């Protein structure tokens, strides 16, 4: 792709850990490349990084809880304190490592803009230290800002290490622009101090449909149920997959289960009496290929799964395992788009009864579709990219509009 007469930007995309923090950045990164900008992606070293297709990759060696095989043991948690673990998970060694690695990339590559996840505190600090404007993309679909008070002291310590002045109001966390892939009913503007731009959910395009997605669409069953526990908390879900499958296998539906990375689909057995014809277990299928055909999603309430289901107007049964999943579940239940069950104690009978009730009550689908309509009306990724191009760059000027005229290698 080529550009003239203006200058293409050098844009660094950074995420602190896991696919849930990378996924919201990818549509913007793809749009940046399509517009002729040069992009670099830096984040945790795991298979998903290489699968993104970006030429300039900067993997960081970060130990992720998800990079252990199997479903492990389910961890108990206090639902009232799930948003108080931000310091434990995203600050400390991980943030200081990002401060060094991202700063080096920003300066060595002469980056103009950094785009990062809302919990990539080391990257934000590195951008300010390097004099590069930062665009923050939210990772939580819902949730209040109560977690911000819990990180005031460690954020100031991180800034001190970078030689930056104190930031008592935590303005750094909003960057020059905050991009929110959620509606105002999910994340209100009052959650942020600076300019906010919404982003319509933008599933990544695939060249060929996944075979499991075609299987899910086909068949004689009248109902379609998609079961997922995401890509990180799947490794601390204990026997929840088995209970979920026992529950939905009794319903007259075609059922697709995705186990996520680190969990072998072969360990999740549908049972002989149900046979392979209407139950299928895969490690990964692009959820956008499934949601448009689903009648119900049974999940853990992760933000990516929740926004994907709501965008498609699909109601949910949510069994939170920690973190943002609790407020996400609360939002879904309050909006009438689904129901929340306790993952640790929910029995197959309880899950099945709840699923059957949602499937037989049209109001749940109507509520999900109403939120889906709101999500579909948000600005496109192209509009968001235009706003990013309009930011003052590290060289002190706004990026000029440019036209494609000559070939530029990424």
For CA atoms 8, 49, 161, 151, the dihedral sign is positive
Domain match, 186 and 327 both: no
Rounded distance between C-alpha atoms, residue 196 and residue 190, angstroms: 10
- Evaluate whether residue 402 is within a structural domain: no
**Domain match, 299 and 384 both:** no
**Quick one: 371 and 272 in the same domain?**
yes
What is d(CA 160, CA 163) in angstroms, rounded to the nearest whole number?
A: 5
Say yes or no: 215 and 344 in one domain: yes
What CATH number is associated with residue 117? 3.40.50.2000
Q: Tell me whether residue 309 is in a domain.
A: yes
Q: Which domain holds residue 341?
A: 211-375
The Cα 120–Cα 247 span in angstroms is 38
In terms of domains, do 215 and 184 share one?
no
43/153 same-domain check: yes
- Are 125 and 157 in the same domain? yes
Contact of 39 with 11, CB cutoff 8 Å: yes
CA of 375: how far to CAs of 82, 263, 365, in Å?
26, 31, 15
Say if 403 falls within a structural domain: no
- Range 213-219 contact pairs with CB under 8 angstroms and sequence separation of 24 or more: 213/285, 213/286, 213/289, 213/290, 213/293, 215/256, 215/280, 216/254, 216/256, 216/280, 216/285, 216/290, 216/293, 216/294, 217/293, 219/254, 219/277, 219/278
* Domains identified in the chain, total number: 2
Residue 71 forms part of a structural domain: yes
Distance CA 185, CA 187 (A): 6
Q: How many Å is the maximal CA-CA distance in the chain?
A: 67
Prediction pTM value: 0.87
Give the DSSP H/E element, type plus range, for residue 108.
helix 93-108
Considering the domain architecture, whether residues 227 and 340 belong to the same structural domain is answered as: yes
Is the residue at 394 inside a domain?
no
Q: Is residue 4 part of a domain?
A: no
Report the Cα 247 to chain-centroid distance in Å.
27
> 304 vs 63, 180, 344, 359, 362, CA distance in Å?
22, 13, 22, 22, 24
Same structural domain, 189 and 215: no
177 and 239: one domain? no
Tokens (6 digits) for 145: 């800002």
pLDDT for 357-387, tens place per residue?
999 999 999 999 999 999 999 999 999 999 9
Tens digits of pLDDT across the chain (410 residues): 333 335 799 999 999 887 888 889 999 999 999 999 999 999 877 655 555 667 677 777 766 555 566 655 557 666 666 676 778 778 888 899 999 999 999 999 999 999 999 999 999 999 999 999 999 999 999 977 778 888 999 999 999 999 999 999 999 999 999 999 999 999 999 999 999 999 999 877 666 788 999 999 998 899 999 999 877 765 555 688 889 999 999 999 999 999 887 777 778 776 544 445 889 999 888 888 999 999 999 999 999 999 999 999 999 999 998 778 899 999 999 999 999 999 889 999 999 999 999 999 999 999 999 999 999 999 999 999 999 999 987 554 444 433 322 222 33
Q: What is the pLDDT of residues 216-238, one digit of tens each?
A: 999 889 999 999 987 776 555 56
Do both 181 and 106 map to the same domain?
yes
CB contact at 8 A, 27 and 304: no
- Within-domain flag for 5: no
DSSP 343: T
Q: How far is CA 380 from CA 174, 203, 375, in A?
A: 20, 12, 10
Q: Is residue 84 part of a domain?
A: yes
> Phi and psi at residue 49, in whole multiples of 5°?
-65, -45
Q: Quick check: 138 and 180 in contact, CB under 8 A?
A: yes
The closest alpha carbon to 133, from 400, 396, 384, belongs to 396
233 plus 353 within the same structural domain: yes
């Amino acid at each position: 792709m080529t550009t003239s007469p203006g200058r293409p930007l050098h844009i660094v995309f950074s995420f602190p850990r896991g696919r849930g923090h990378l996924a919201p950045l990818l549509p913007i990164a793809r749009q940046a490349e399509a517009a002729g900008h040069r992009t670099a992606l830096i984040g945790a070293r795991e298979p998903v990084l290489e699968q993104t297709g970006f030429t300039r990759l900067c993997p960081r060696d970060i130990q992720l809880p998800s990079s252990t095989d199997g479903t492990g043991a389910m961890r108990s948690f206090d639902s009232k304190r799930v948003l108080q673990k931000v310091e434990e998970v995203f600050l400390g060694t991980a943030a200081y490592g990002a401060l060094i690695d991202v700063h080096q990339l920003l300066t060595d590559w002469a980056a103009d803009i950094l785009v990062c996840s809302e919990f990539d505190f080391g990257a934000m600090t590195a951008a300010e230290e390097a004099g590069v404007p930062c665009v923050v993309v939210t990772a939580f679909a819902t949730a209040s800002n109560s977690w911000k008070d819990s990180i005031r002291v460690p954020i100031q310590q991180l800034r001190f290490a970078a030689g930056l002045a104190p930031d008592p109001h935590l303005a750094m966390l909003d960057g020059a622009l905050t991009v929110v892939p959620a509606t105002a009913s999910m994340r209100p503007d009052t959650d942020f101090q600076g300019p906010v731009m919404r982003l319509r959910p933008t599933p990544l395009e695939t060249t060929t449909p996944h075979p499991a997605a075609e299987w899910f669409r086909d068949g004689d069953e009248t109902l379609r149920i998609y079961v997922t526990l995401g890509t990180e908390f799947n490794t601390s879900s204990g026997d929840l997959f088995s209970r979920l499958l026992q529950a939905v296998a009794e319903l007259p539906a075609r059922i697709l289960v995705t186990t996520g990375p680190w969990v072998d689909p072969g360990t999740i057995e549908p049972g002989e009496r149900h046979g392979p014809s209407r139950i299928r277990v895969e490690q990964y299928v692009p959820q956008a290929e499934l949601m448009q055909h689903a009648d119900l999603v049974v999940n853990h309430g992760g933000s990516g799964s929740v926004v994907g289901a709501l965008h498609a107007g699909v109601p949910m049964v949510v069994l939170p395992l920690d973190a943002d999943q609790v407020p996400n579940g609360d939002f879904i239940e309050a909006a009438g788009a689904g129901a929340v069950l306790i993952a640790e104690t929910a029995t197959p009978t309880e899950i099945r009864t709840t699923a059957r009730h949602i499937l037989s009550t049209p109001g749940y689908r109507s509520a999900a579709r109403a939120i889906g309509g709101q999500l579909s009306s948000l600005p496109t990724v192209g509009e968001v990219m235009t706003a990013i191009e309009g930011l003052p760059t590290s060289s002190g000027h706004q990026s000029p509009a440019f036209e494609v005229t000559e070939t530029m290698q990424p």
